Amino acid sequence: MDAKVTNGDILAEKLRSRSAKIGIIGLGYVGLPLATAVTTAGFRTTGFDVNRSKIGHLRAGESYVEAVDSQMLADFVQSGTFSPTCKFLDLEACDVIVICVPTPITEQRSPDLNQVISAAESIAGFRRRSQLVVLSSTTWPGTTDEVVIPILQSGGLISGIDFWVGYSPEREDPGNQDFGTTTIPRIVSGDGEVARSLTARFYSAFVETVVPVSTPRTAEAVKITENVYRAVNIALVNETKIIYDAMGIDIWEVIEAASTKPFGFTPFYPGPGLGGHCIPVDPHYLAWKARELSTSTRFVDLAGEINISMPGYVVAKLGEALDLHLRKSIGSSKILVLGLAYKRNISDIRGSPAQEIIETLEKRGAEVLLHDPHLAEFSITDRCSECSRRKSIVLDATTIRHMDAVLVVTDHDEVDYELVAKNAGMVIDTRNVMRRLKLDCRVLVQA
Ligand SMILES: NC(=O)c1ccc[n+]([C@@H]2O[C@H](COP(=O)([O-])OP(=O)(O)OC[C@H]3O[C@@H](n4cnc5c(N)ncnc54)[C@H](O)[C@@H]3O)[C@@H](O)[C@H]2O)c1
């Protein structure tokens, strides 16, 4: 071998020629779209997940993520360019391994890095040289340096010499029709210049714009900052909604008009509360780290407090409306909840405010029917996947007329809102969908 050609050069050339083998750990909302983007770019990809049922679906060419087309998946699996597996050892031959496992919080709202640690420990067990390992899970600034690299080095190999480590946060926005894995600019970083450059080269193969930053710590902070920014601004607009509602001012009209200012105002929209795996969770990663450094995160804490109270506000508005217009209590009412996913046009129900709203209504004695075009059957509580299995009802005029109120929690595009407007006695709208579509309702309450 030419003495001037380094192992980094060899991997760079493999990435350029697409002969590098890529492994993805965790095939969820982030890992599966990534795996298909990488395969589309011409790499052979191995996807590992601990969930055998998911691997079974993938092998059968069935996608469980809206952004991934089943036919494309089936073609990849059949041609052998994408291999879903439950065997971790299948990743050993990979030149690049991307970790896309969940980073939840514990009941005490502390970071739970168990899945990241487990993935890193398994990779360390390979003791394989010249591999690039990229962490993509969202986490507190410092995780790659302080947690992942020490584990990867535990087998005796040294980061930056024997193998390389990068951090590249995932900015995927499920349900977003305008931006996806390949068009959202990618923040990339590495433990050292070679690691950063290899990470950038890898993502450049299938992402339009790559944005290198100085260190993994900075890249981790970029992701956390983006999500703290969203959490704080959503809380601000939710609080403003409550104030304006008491003043008889429509927050949606205010935002629409304020958005005409060409600078200095970015619109955020109110809603029934936060959901999903990111915005309600990630700020706690920063808060936890801040506590360790004896600093506080007052904005984060206040935003959390406001956002957490929103499902309760929606139930209170519903209760007031039932009392005012029907002289009924929640306990003696029939409510149809429209939309259970945490946001529009996706099926992800994790942490959705609909769960708390439904649980509260049922605890208070209401009869609750549910409709979500993205979910045929589901469990309304995160705490137990098997209990409280419920079915989405078929939305028809008779059922809607039979209800005291229709509560819009998530405004999926597929719902026939005209049918709802024509037949519902009362609509409680947390998303402004009825006014947005200019539909007349008998009674419409913004919540
Ligand atoms: N979902 C989003 O919109 C989104 C957006 C940006 C960033 N993120 C971040 O990306 C990461 C992944 O999130 P997600 O939404 O894809 O989660 P997910 O729950 O949809 O998918 C994670 C997958 O990892 C698997 N898994 C868990 N532990 C594993 C292990 N030890 N080894 C292999 N597989 C394992 C699970 O079975 C699951 O299929 C998180 O850090 C999240 O915060 C998510």
Domain 7-213, CATH class in plain words: alpha beta
Residue 288 is encoded by which pair of tokens? 């936890």
Predicted pLDDT of residue 4: 84
**Mean pLDDT across the stretch 199-207?**
98
Which tokens hold the place of 238?
A: 């939710």
Percentage of the chain lying above the pLDDT 90 cut: 92
Going by alpha carbons, the residue nearest to atom 27 of ligand 1 is 101
Residue 385 pLDDT > 80: no
3-state secondary structure of 74: helix
pLDDT in tens, 39-95: 999 999 999 999 999 999 999 999 999 889 999 999 999 999 999 999 999 999 999
Across 410-434, average pLDDT: 98
Name the band, by pLDDT with cuts 50, 70 and 90, for residue 381: low
Reported as a pLDDT band with limits 50, 70 and 90, residue 104 is: very high
Strand 334-338 to 210-212 pairing? unpaired
How confident is the model over 384-403, as a mean pLDDT? 85
List of residues 6+ apart from 111 with CB closer than 8 A: 103, 105, 139, 140, 284, 285, 288
**Rounded alpha-carbon distances, angstroms, from residue 66 to 32, 43, 104, 174, 182:** 10, 22, 22, 8, 16
Supply the pLDDT for residue 17.
98
Q: For ligand 1, what atom is nearest to the CA of residue 32?
A: 16
User: Which one-letter amino acid corresponds to residue 148?
Assistant: V
**Please, is 229 exposed, middle or buried when counting C-beta atoms within 10 Å of its C-beta (0-12, 13-18, 19+)?**
middle
Residue 1 scores a pLDDT above 70: no
Query: Which amino acid is present at 423?
Result: N
- Mean pLDDT of all residues in 205-231: 98
Structure tokens at 6: 């380094």
Q: What average pLDDT does range 366-382 have in this prediction?
A: 86
CATH 3.40.50.720 fits 231-446, yes or no: yes
Q: Is 227 close to ligand 1, i.e. is its CB under 6 Å away? A: no
For the segment 100-117, the average pLDDT, to the nearest whole number, is 96
- Reported confidence tier of residue 135, pLDDT bands at 50, 70, 90: very high
- Structure-block tokens of residue 359: 């649980």
Q: Is the pLDDT of residue 387 over 60?
A: no
Q: Which residues pair with 343 in a beta bridge?
A: none
Nearest in space to 240 (alpha carbons), one of 225, 228, 231, 252 = 252
CA angle 219, 167, 160 (to 5 degrees): 120
Q: Is the pLDDT of residue 383 over 80?
A: no
Tokens read off for 404: 């005291």
Q: What is the pLDDT of residue 261?
A: 98
Is 102 touching ligand 1 by the criterion CB < 6 Å? yes
The reply to whether 231-446 shares the fold of 7-213 is: yes
Pocket probe mutation, ligand 1, options 29, 117, 122, 168, max atoms within 8 Å of Cβ: 29
Closest CA to 61 of 49, 51, 75, 47: 75
Q: In whole angstroms, what is the distance from residue 225 CA to residue 283 CA? A: 8
Distance CA 339, CA 410 (A): 4
Nearest to 404 by CA among 318, 333, 316, 330: 333
How far apart are the CA of 305 and the centre of ligand 1, in A?
25
* Distance between CA atoms of residues 14 and 176, nearest Å: 32
Q: Does the pLDDT at position 342 exceed 80?
A: yes
Percent share of the chain, pLDDT over 70: 97
Mean pLDDT across the stretch 175-190? 95
Q: Which entry of 86, 94, 100, 278 is annotated as an active-site residue?
A: 278
Task: Say how many C-beta atoms besides its own lie within 10 A of residue 295's C-beta.
Answer: 10
441 catalytic residue (yes or no): no
CA separation for the pair 205, 134 (Å, rounded)? 15
With cut-offs at 50, 70 and 90, classify the pLDDT of residue 382.
low
What's the whole-number average pLDDT of the chain? 95
**Span of 182-196, 237-251, 340-354, 428-442 with lowest mean pLDDT:** 340-354
Asked if pLDDT for residue 386 goes beyond 60, the answer is no
Mutate to test the pocket of ligand 1, among 52, 66, 100, 114 (most ligand atoms within 8 A of CB): 100
Per-residue pLDDT band at 378 (split at 50, 70, 90): confident
Q: State how far the Cα of 277 lies from the Cα of 169, in Å rounded to an integer.
A: 14
When pLDDT is averaged across residues 109-123 and rounded to a whole number, the result is 97
pLDDT of residue 390: 85
pLDDT class of 136 with cuts at 50, 70, 90: very high
Domain range summary for the chain, segments of one domain joined by +: 7-213, 231-446
